[in-house]
Amino acid sequence: MVLFIPGFMQRGDAWRPVAELLPERYPSALLDHGEHSFEGRLAEIADAAEEGSVLVGYSLGGRLALRAVLRDPGRYAGLVTVGATAGIDDPGLRSARAEAEDRLAAWMEAAPIEDVVSIWERQPLFADQSEGLIEEQRPGRMSHDPGRLAMLLRTAGQGALEPVWHALLMLDLPVLAIAGARDEGYVAAAERIADVAPRGRAAVVEDAGHAAHLQRPHRVAELIEEFLNP
């Protein structure tokens, strides 16, 4: 089974355009999280995944998928990440990121979801996305509770999580790290994941930014199918 894991402020069906392109011989499931903490989401992944599953995660979902696989590597057959990293190495940068995320979380707790979504959509990370694509994602984002999003940010944000680059050295599973070509920081992260993981490789999706699975679903599906059938 291929278990697709969404990013922050997404629902599971954000992965549907890719999942529906995979051949029927690769059954898939779209995980729609109910929990909004790091440990809660890892538990949901473990509950949803069958023995021998391949985890596919985007952004926050990629960070979670990576840590789920590291926690119980014998249970999974592989890992695919899109726009994800194994963490921030520098303690000072990680602390600064945690402080920024905590300030954002505090604001979220007091803000209506309309304002939270509006601010989230205007991030530079998503600047290359078309208005149509942003509008397609909006209903899923609007379905969230700001207080729960704040909890998720505080427990699973990049500043909250210790880096796991060292653990990748001992991960004896196939790993595919995907990044959009316009998402330069995450291209570097994908290439580093491929270098560090013993069975890792990286793939760069042209004409895409951070959300390559939404901008180029056919290409991302091709890459996943190639990964599943080497």
Task: Give the mean pLDDT of 159-171.
Answer: 97
Handedness of CA 163, 153, 73, 17 (dihedral sign): negative
Q: What is the arithmetic mean of pLDDT over 7-27?
A: 95
Domain covering 2-88+163-228 assigned CATH 3.40.50.1820 in the classification: yes
Contact 60, 37 (CB under 8 A): no
pTM: 0.96
Q: What is the pLDDT of residue 230?
A: 76
Q: Cα-flanking dihedrals φ and ψ of residue 54, to 5°? A: -105, 125
pLDDT digits (tens, 9 = 90+) for 25-76: 999 999 999 999 999 999 999 999 999 999 999 999 999 999 999 999 999 9
Beta carbons of 4 and 24 less than 8 angstroms apart: no
Range list for CATH 3.40.50.1820 in the chain: 2-88+163-228
